[in-house]
Structure 1
Amino acid sequence: MTTLAELDCQTAAPDVAAAPALLPVVGSDTLVPVVDGRSVPYANLDVAASAPALRAVADRVTEVLPLYASVHRGAGYLSQVSTALYEAARARIGEFVGARDEDVTVVTRNTTDSLNLLAGCVPPHPDGTPGRVLVLDVEHHANLLPWQRTGGATVLAGGASVAETLSGLRTELARFDYALLAVTGASNVTGEALPLAEVVRLAHDAGARVVLDGAQLVPHRGFSLAQTGADYVAFSGHKTYAPFGAGALVGRRDWLDAGTPHLAGGGAVRQVGLDATQWQTAPARHEAGSPNVVGAVALAAACDALAALDPAALHAHEAALRAALVDGLSSIEGVRVVTVWPDATDPVGVVTFSVTGHDPGLVAAYLSAEHGIGVRDGRFCAHPLLARLGYDAGAIRASVGVGTTGAEVARLVDAVRAYVEQGPSARYAVVDGCWTVVDDPRPVPAGSGLEGLFATAAAGFLADAAACGPAPDGPA
């Protein structure tokens, strides 16, 4: 029988398996234990959930930490330095996504935060009802729930093809006076997308603005508000190789200047009285409290590193890895790759698949425990889409980025093949809804404080989040 060590060294596609990472990331040399007693390099194929920090980002954070102090209202020298760092980072983040001269960049926590902020700024309909927002059922919950909560959302089911979906959008936009069309730049489930130029044209022709959920697009493709004509873009640092707690909403100023302040607190106000408050305009209007200076600097550093890459090299790297995933997984009996629009072009490096007759959580637990591979299982905060596609029980998602190597992709394909053909070598059981290794022999990192808790941590999370459904979801 082929050993686990041999399986981890096999290559699913020799030409792609030799592909190196495009940029160095923190943790690429981290070893993790597997159940047979070995330690293997961790293969992080869960980049779509949270990407590792670029080495350049970590270095930049180390550089600026000694300079950190209060911002905007401090007279001290380091306060002035920190303010300059923060505002320079804001400008760089806006430039990275092609902000127009009149656009504003609001530093947020992540994409979810950004879209909730914008939801409070959509002007009401002239009849006094909430401003109407059109959204597709393919969206991540971050680009669905904020609009539903405003009471003005219409959720349109996506079509079986790109052409059918565009036709549905055109028809629906003509039915009502929509203020906004909210659309993903790339699906967090399949990496597929609608042609953005066509989507923007349809919306603008109907008098609606467009906000782009750029969480999965911005880290993988060049994007420009100015060039596409989109009105707003939201994205996350933790998906853009800067996991230090900052994200951004970038776009047209008028709604953001007049909208409901995202948080009520210091820094967002001009004058406070006991009976009335005068609010700042954007971006300060939506950045109450002490801002995440280090997070903003980290995100700006990631933007610089990604902007310095040759776009053709970035595209070729990701396309090759994605093709190896799709081709390799599709060649395994019983494995099905999920698609939303078969006619979609140029998807980003996100691939979701299922193994017929096998629980996605078990497959993911096996990949981790026996091969040191990190993937995501569940419904990926896209419950309506997974339900429509017939995956109520969830699926498995592998995703790549600039720090991914071809060898890691090959390891995954070979490991899934081994699972299908030979089955697991360890015993697994469901504990409070989570697949775990029975009598798991893997140690936890020294000094982590997790001794005795490792086997129950995930189960505890699931117990707390039981209302979310039968499978865990990833972070927004």
Structure 2
Amino acid sequence: MSTSTLSPARPPCPVPSGHAVGALLPVVGADTVVPLATGGTTTYVNLDNAASTPALRAVADRVAQVLPHYASVHRGAGYLSRVSTALFEQARGEVGRFAGARPEDLVVFTRSTTDALDLLARAVPPGARVLVADVEHHANLLPWQRSARTTVVRGGADAEETTALLEAELAAGRYGLLAVAGASNVTGEVLPLRRLARAAHDAGARIAVDGAQLLPHRRVDVGRDGIDYLALSGHKLYAPFGSGALVGRRDWLDAADPYLAGGGATLDVRHDGVRWATGPDRHEAGSPNVVGAVALAQACLTLGALPPGALEAHEAALRARLVDGLEALPGVQVVRPHPQDAVGVVTLTVPGRSVSEVAAYLSAEHGTGVRDGRFCAHRFADALGLAEGGLRVSTGVGTSSADVDRLLRALRQFLTTGPALRYGVVDGCWGPLSDPRPAPAAYLAADAPASR
């Protein structure tokens, strides 16, 4: 095996221009064909990227390249074990570079953003108080909310007001940690992280950022931005292979009880006690997800290779096209359509109609996937008047203006002529009352050919 065999690929990164916006990077499944309940088939349009992103083509290619060389890590004497160990630790370095980690920071691999934030919650020193707003995704609310040391403040009318409320609370209280989302998974609003980091540090606190929604759209540099801890997920970052990471300062993590008790987290085990490792090993007991870590690293490498501003320009053009189109549709209401700063996440309602019916219609008659509900942010959704849920449209690097236009045409048809089928609740979910499509569980048999 030559040393170049497993070198990560750096694909070209086209920058869209003009009124028509193409996909920024190739993703797996972009040409997947799905059946329609009205008959026939169509190419699937994925506008549910805020929930999970497809794999980048570069990520899938990297995984296929690595799999034949997979073996045990860290303690194997075999050559492939050494290769896998090198891949795993190289992945740790690549994720750290993508996040702008400081030399002394740790990169701990986890299963997801939720896992990373739960790990951090266990590492907060005893007695340290935590500040969080109720606008957060459950992943960055519930780990803190269950502690009596946590203060949950009500969010403001927009990101600026929420920021001011957090700053005031930091100045008035004595906190050890401020926990915030980089971008809302409901409205797409982006918080000013550098400003909040300064406010936290001025008050003697640290700041932890849930980067799940922000990192697929914007670069974050924990050192430059003053962030103490950053949590991220591969499945939000075009690497859906079951890996995430917590990047941040090592002192709290080295002092905390190991997140999992097991092999790999120990230096020595005796009948009368255990000596635990420090560093990332302390919290990565068990056999690690090497393939997931490699996939996440390749996603970081590919996104990091984009020309400066390309990602922001791509999503800004798509978001503007989407919001302008939605506001032109009578009967559609966009939740906070024009924030000062936002990523490609837009939530809407159709007064008088169930958003779950609209979502089912878009899928069944137009092959378009969106998300309906309260998006694991129930307190924020309720505050926005979405007690019955909203309809969320979210773009990604594989989204084009044609995808947005197809959604807008489908919504206009729904509002003007209505759906072609009758809809209702079937087995607990909205869908066509008569649906000839294969049952989802049987749609893709184990021996079916994979999508290109």
TM (normalized to structure 1)?
A: 0.88
The question of whether the paired residues in 1 share the 8 Å contact of 2:185 and 2:213 is answered with: yes
How far apart, CA to CA, are the structure 1 residues paired with 2:65 and 2:273?
42
One-letter amino acid of the counterpart of residue 101, structure 1: P
Q: CA deviation at 1:162?
A: 3.6
How far apart, CA to CA, are the structure 1 residues paired with 2:32 and 2:218?
27
The question of whether the paired residues in 2 share the 8 Å contact of 1:115 and 1:143 is answered with: yes
How far apart, CA to CA, are the structure 2 residues paired with 1:36 and 1:440?
8
Q: Which residue of 2 aligns with 1:416?
A: 411
The question of whether the paired residues in 1 share the 8 Å contact of 2:426 and 2:433 is answered with: no
Q: Which residue of 2 aligns with 1:248?
A: 245
One-letter amino acid of the counterpart of residue 349, structure 2: S
Residue 48 of structure 1 aligns to a residue whose secondary structure is coil
Give the alignment partner of residue 268 of structure 1, picking from 244, 265, 269.
Answer: 265
Q: CA deviation at 1:95?
A: 0.4
How far apart, CA to CA, are the structure 2 residues paired with 1:265 and 1:44?
39
Superposed counterparts of 1:302-381, under 5 Å: 302-339=299-336, 344-381=339-376
How far apart, CA to CA, are the structure 2 residues paired with 1:229 and 1:62?
37
The question of whether the paired residues in 2 share the 8 Å contact of 1:336 and 1:354 is answered with: yes
Give the alignment partner of residue 141 of structure 1, picking from 138, 141, 156.
Answer: 138
The question of whether the paired residues in 2 share the 8 Å contact of 1:119 and 1:150 is answered with: no
Residue 333 of structure 2 aligns to a residue whose secondary structure is strand
How far apart, CA to CA, are the structure 1 residues paired with 2:356 and 2:279?
43
Q: Which residue of 2 aligns with 1:223?
A: 220
Q: CA deviation at 1:449?
A: 5.0
TM (normalized to structure 2)?
A: 0.92
The question of whether the paired residues in 1 share the 8 Å contact of 2:159 and 2:189 is answered with: no
Residue 92 of structure 2 aligns to a residue whose secondary structure is helix
Q: CA deviation at 1:52?
A: 0.3
* Superposed CA offset, 1:355-382 (max 9, x none): 1111111010000000000000000000
The question of whether the paired residues in 2 share the 8 Å contact of 1:221 and 1:311 is answered with: no
* Superposed CA offset, 1:414-472 (max 9, x none): 1111111111111111124310211201135877359xxxxxxxxxxxxxxxxxxxxxx
Are 2:33 and 1:31 aligned? yes
Residue 291 of structure 2 aligns to a residue whose secondary structure is helix
The question of whether the paired residues in 2 share the 8 Å contact of 1:135 and 1:153 is answered with: yes
One-letter amino acid of the counterpart of residue 389, structure 1: L
Q: CA deviation at 1:161?
A: 3.4
One-letter amino acid of the counterpart of residue 38, structure 2: D
Give the alignment partner of residue 439 of structure 1, picking from 412, 417, 434.
Answer: 434
Superposed counterparts of 1:159-170, under 5 Å: 159-170=156-167
Q: CA deviation at 1:213?
A: 0.4
How far apart, CA to CA, are the structure 1 residues paired with 2:96 and 2:148?
30
Residue 120 of structure 1 aligns to a residue whose secondary structure is helix
Q: CA deviation at 1:303?
A: 0.6
Q: Which stretches in structure 2 are left out of the alignment for 5+ residues? A: 1-17, 447-452
Superposed counterparts of 1:35-434, under 5 Å: 35-125=37-127, 131-339=128-336, 344-434=339-429
* Superposed CA offset, 1:117-139 (max 9, x none): 000000012xxxxx211001110
* Superposed CA offset, 1:81-136 (max 9, x none): 000000000000010010011111001111000000000000012xxxxx211001
The question of whether the paired residues in 1 share the 8 Å contact of 2:96 and 2:247 is answered with: yes
How far apart, CA to CA, are the structure 2 residues paired with 1:58 and 1:75?
28
Residue 252 of structure 2 aligns to a residue whose secondary structure is helix
* Superposed CA offset, 1:120-178 (max 9, x none): 000012xxxxx211001110000000112233211111112344323211221133221
How far apart, CA to CA, are the structure 2 residues paired with 1:214 and 1:122?
19
One-letter amino acid of the counterpart of residue 198, structure 2: R
How far apart, CA to CA, are the structure 2 residues paired with 1:193 and 1:154?
22
* Superposed CA offset, 1:1-22 (max 9, x none): xxxxxxxxxxxxxx64x31101
Q: CA deviation at 1:61?
A: 0.2
How far apart, CA to CA, are the structure 1 residues paired with 2:245 and 2:308?
22
The question of whether the paired residues in 2 share the 8 Å contact of 1:222 and 1:311 is answered with: no
How far apart, CA to CA, are the structure 2 residues paired with 1:429 and 1:67?
49
RMSD over aligned CA atoms reads: 1.6
Aligned residues: 429
How far apart, CA to CA, are the structure 2 residues paired with 1:294 and 1:151?
38
The question of whether the paired residues in 2 share the 8 Å contact of 1:141 and 1:381 is answered with: yes
One-letter amino acid of the counterpart of residue 259, structure 1: A
Task: Work out the percentage of aligned pairs sharing the same amino acid.
Answer: 63
How far apart, CA to CA, are the structure 2 residues paired with 1:275 and 1:328?
68
How far apart, CA to CA, are the structure 1 residues paired with 2:228 and 2:58?
30
Give the alignment partner of residue 448 of structure 1, picking from 444, 447, 451.
Answer: 444
How far apart, CA to CA, are the structure 1 residues paired with 2:250 and 2:200?
19
* Superposed CA offset, 1:245-277 (max 9, x none): 001100001011111211111111111223322
How far apart, CA to CA, are the structure 2 residues paired with 1:150 and 1:71?
36
How far apart, CA to CA, are the structure 2 residues paired with 1:311 and 1:346?
18
